[in-house]
Structure 1
Amino acid sequence: MHPRRSAQEVLLCDLCEAFPLQSHCELCNINLCVNCAGKHVSDSSKRHKVVPFLHRKSTPNYPKCPDHADKQCEMYCEKCDIPVCITCVTSGKHKGHDISDVLEKLNAKAESLQKDLEELETRIYPRYEEMASDVQTEKSELETKYGKLTTDADEQGEALHREVTAIVNQRKSVIAEMKTKHLDALNKNTDEITQKMAELKQIMSDLKSMLKSNDVSLTSTYKSRNSEFRTLPPKVRVTLPSFSAQKINKDQLNKMVGSVSSLSITKEQGDTMKSAEAVSSPPVKPLLDEPRVTATIDTGYGLGLHSVSCLSEDQVWTGGENETMKLLNLQSKLLTSIQTKSGKQPQDIAVTRDGDLVYTDISNNTVNLIKNKQIQTVITLQGWVPRGVCCTADNDLLVIMDSDDRKQSKVVRYSGSTEKQSIQFDDQGRPLYSSGGYIFKCLSENKNLDICVADCGASAVVVVNQSGKLRFRYTGHPSNTKQSFKPFGITTDSQSHILTADSQSHILTADCWNNRIHILDQDGQFLRYIHCDLESPWGLCVDIRDNLFVAEWFTVKVKKIQYL
């Protein structure tokens, strides 16, 4: 603030600083009293614009002209893309060039700057914050995760020690038993020899007595037993057992202890966010005002068609309430049928990028791959029951599963049979997905790599980003307060739309269904419904041309719908 002014004082002229200001020069951006205003406009070197102080405009800070030091650049040369003063324009240097008002250019630039600021504040910077938070979370989990690796190694070592100790103790027991038998044999031999020696001593004593007595009767009755004793008692020979120690095979021991996979540190290509203009621009394929059914496939199942997955534009795999999965064309012709390995119905099906079929089986808690009509079990779960399955852009498998006691639920990413990622809780440690009575859960990966789950038990579509961080929950159209929202099937298209089949209740009667598909944008904003006289819609998928296929539970038909 000026040293002679305060909030309580009269505002004074900027030139004389003695009298109250009454006017303002918009060119020079100064405040003037009556006397100074007259003197100011008398300067004919500039086109001063003096207005009453209350009518002043916010005067921009015009740039000084680099070629004419006493001039301000009040215009803009569009061709040269630089601010220019009036002398520059009249000198002929910019002859034939489009000249605009620098304020208009400033306003346009200001709008662009404002858009950039809004995008940085609302979209870009929050993503960087999110990434930083994810890295910090990963760092905080290092101690626990590496501690588990160490514990696993210790437990394996202890298990091996227990096995080795048990085997050594068994060998020692055998040795002790052999020693006892050996000693018994020697003791028995000793007893036999001792008995013979006692007899010999008695005979020798008797003979000595006979020789001393000269008794003819004793001598005449004597019979020699020397020949009997010339054959010595059998000598017991025991071959001492030996211990054949095997050379320790360190390679084999290493395999038995287990191995630690190598640490892989890579930098993935960072996601490129769409600009604000691209995000707000109309989609390449706008929604049709009236979606229409272009084909109907009769699958031939009994009651309960729940899964459909596209192999091509005119071929779809289907799964229902029996053990057979069918490949059908648009004319309802059966092309292939395959029975599950367990003989039970599949819970969900999906087609991989290679065109192979994947299905989940809750009867034996497995995920199975069908290649060339051969079934291979790729994942066997312990303590968890697989529900929905989908194939990602990277050809991974995403499986949503419930614990055996139905108290937990999570999404797991697999590369082949190797678990790569587990998604179960939000940042506050709360479960992302419902648990309990509803067993129906389906999922799909969106084009922006979000993971979208139709969680019927939660009456919500739950969407997390690629790293598993919660983005949003969609719980139905806000204006609809009379009908409940029960999403069953879910799919996504090339426009990053999320489509989910809305079923009002888990009670399987034909009059309990809402019979509609919700279409959302990638941020969870409701766009519209698809009705198309649907009856009990359940499983959903889209083909490469964004045609929607809907499996109807009660009619056991698949409807192909064009909605873009």
Structure 2
Amino acid sequence: MDPRHSAQDVVRCDICETAIVQMYCDFCHINLCVTCIGKHIADDYQKHIVVPFQKRKSTLIYPKCSTHQKKVCELLCKECDMSVCSLCTTISTDKHNGHTFLSLSEIYNERKADITKDSEEIENVISPTYEEMSTDLETQITNLDGEYVKFTTVVTKHGEEWHKEIDNVIKKMKNEIEEMKTKHLEILKKHLDEIMQIQSLIEQSLITLKEMEESNEVSVTMEYRSKNKEFRKLPPKVRVSLPTFSPNTIDSEQLYKSLGSLIPLSFTTDENGGTLKKTEILPKKPMDDPELVTAINTGYKKLYNVACLIEEEFWTSTAVSDMKCFNVQGTVINTLKTKSGDCPRDIAVTSDGDLVYTDWATKTVNKVKSGQTEEVIRLQGWKPVNLCVTSSSDLLVAMYSDDKTQSKVVRYSGSTEKQTIQYDDEGKPLYSGNTKMKYVSENRNLDICVADLEVGAVVVVSQAGKLRFRYTGHSSTKNKAFRPFGITTDSQSQILTADFDNHCIHILDQNGQFLRYIDNCDLKGPYGLCVDKSDNLFVAEFHSGNVKKIKYLQ
């Protein structure tokens, strides 16, 4: 059989129709083999966007500007709630004068994240809950005949104790029971129909969300509005009580009344509609062989720091004033300079996506918000080194004294000092008193983890500042002494620290027990570390200037 007509055939090049596809044109949306790339882009190579097939549809398709036909819209006017191009923001008109412009790609990524979140909630929580309600109603309907047979049997048994003159009364009561059953059935079926209609809407919504997740159409994504709030409001829960029979003593004159009475069918509705099902989230496990997802060259000769912005974007810094933001395709999407012109010692990203950095030359911690740099903290007698943003949006800043004899970690809420961590319970210094890096990270259990390079130890204290443990390396076959540089934590409360001299990453549990190394991704001088929301590890390599994205959990 011709493999091109086989149901199991691999994807083929759309031009030659024979070679296996290796590349994809994100502009023309066609599959390409390497040989046919030149033929495809020959007409106008600048307009084509050829990417590896695995990264197809990764290039955003921006809408055309309605005012400037040759431009595409990469910004959103916040006040007008409309997409605009760069010319719309620079040409002097009254239409957008004084307005705020947001990056369309950032909003697109946020909406994509919302879509994925909604899809996961529908698939894992909302839909299973409705399925359970539907199954419960179907079970009640299935068992309804059996319950009413039992009920009818009780009435019949009592009727047999009477003489034939009560047969008509028994028949009348049976008819009443049948009417009750019919009404009961109608109530349950009516509620089941309502549930199944909502389920149909949920299934359709999930299909739409899946299509939108796979789509790279900005306009479609921008028009998306979540329906999950409607789905979360569960319909009233019907509770139907079966009728009961209360027999009386036989009285031929009052036969109907004496035989007994039927308590009418009754039902109630629970307006709360029950509760949404909670799905159990299984813990992630370390992979036997961590995978190198990609390596991005930053262009820096020596690379110090990396901080995740979103899953596909990250900030970097080194011994110059420039701080660059890259996407995972290696494109520079933003560049900022320190206010002082000196190099930043460390960088971090807030929950709002703002960049913060330490400037030891000016003894300040600064935040860059909407392109404007503001001074958050100014120290006296101390110089800031490293920092991190906590889960409560506080800042943890590692610093050393001007005389280079003391070090400490200070917690700030905004510009207000809330906590100082410097000594243990015996009054001894927790950290070495020198100018070398002391990368800091907050764990999920709120422990504060510091990589103290000078003494070759990871020092971990509780949220209250009490020493929990010191990790000084793992007794193994590593050739050189443990000297930790960057440090970060993940969703499993694991601590990851860069072992610069041994070209590997140590992974510890939250109690300081060594779990494993990451040493199979050709790491060369790992320096700064960060972990994104999906537990992908980003490693800044000092000598190569590369940022490596590594998958190490499954």
> Which protein is bigger by CA-based radius of gyration?
1
If the length of structure 1 is used for normalisation, what is the TM-score?
Answer: 0.48
The structure that is strand-richer by fraction is 2
If the length of structure 2 is used for normalisation, what is the TM-score?
Answer: 0.48
